[in-house]
Chain A
Amino acid sequence: NAGVMQNPRHLVRRRGQEARLRCSPMKGHSHVYWYRQLPEEGLKFMVYLQKENIIDESGMPKERFSAEFPKEGPSILRIQQVVRGDSAAYFCASSPGRGAGGYTFGSGTRLTVV
């Protein structure tokens, strides 16, 4: 039973380009959460999704960021027109039900904007 799979592990983008981060939840998990971690900081909640639904995107910047979790395939976090301040580690977690107790985190995608 594979864990939460994120790819790519490392992503380098030039300012103004688009970044697409993918997350495949654990088998049997239908709840996905994205968190962002700045250097030497704790993780900060961005968005919570279930299949085909965004439940809570209160932690996501209003512009340039979007997330989806389609019926088929991985969850995608998309950042358009990246800026240097978007450089961070982005972690995805999944759980079998709603609630923080069942979280399993992936290994993250480290985005570097140059």
Chain B
Amino acid sequence: GENVGLHLPTLSVQEGDNSIINCAYSNSASDYFIWYKQESGKGPQFIIDIRSNMDKRQGQRVTVLLNKTVKHLSLQIAATQPGDSAVYFCAENISPGAGSYQLTFGKGTKLSVIP
């Protein structure tokens, strides 16, 4: 079946550097994407989302890029801090329709920030 996957399972970056986490999706019907941060022992925390009618969206220190041609999503974190250390998941959603409430998650990338 179609699913979301991640290129890099682990990523180590120096504090202050920029981080880029990648995600490939294969469901061409997906039109809404979310990045979540999950710290150890906690639930997923919303970071940023993007709809398929956009190719870029910026938040505070984070930017999500969507390339629908190659079905690729990335999360960029500027000036990475130790508090950014966590597992990051991308999730896709199909809306509207019966799948509009279901999220399909990738396996996650563990980001480790080196002080």
Contact = CB atoms under 8 A, between A and B. Distances in A.
Interface residues of A, number: 27
Nearest to B92: A100
A100 B103 contact: yes
Nearest to B51: A101
A67 B90 CA distance: 26
Contacts of B101: 31, 33, 48, 55-56, 95, 98-100
Which range contains the number of B residues in contact with the other chain? 20 to 34
Given A43-B44, A107-B43, A100 B106 contact: no
Interface of B: 4, 32, 34, 36, 41-46, 49, 89, 91, 93, 95, 98, 100-108
22 contacts: A4-B43, A35-B103, A41-B108, A42-B4, A42-B91, A42-B105, A43-B103, A43-B105, A56-B101, A56-B102, A95-B101, A98-B101, A99-B95, A100-B100, A100-B101, A101-B32, A101-B34, A103-B103, A104-B46, A105-B43, A107-B41, A107-B43
Given A43-B103, A100-B101, 10 more contacts: A42-B4, A42-B89, A42-B106, A42-B108, A43-B91, A45-B104, A48-B101, A93-B43, A100-B93, A101-B95
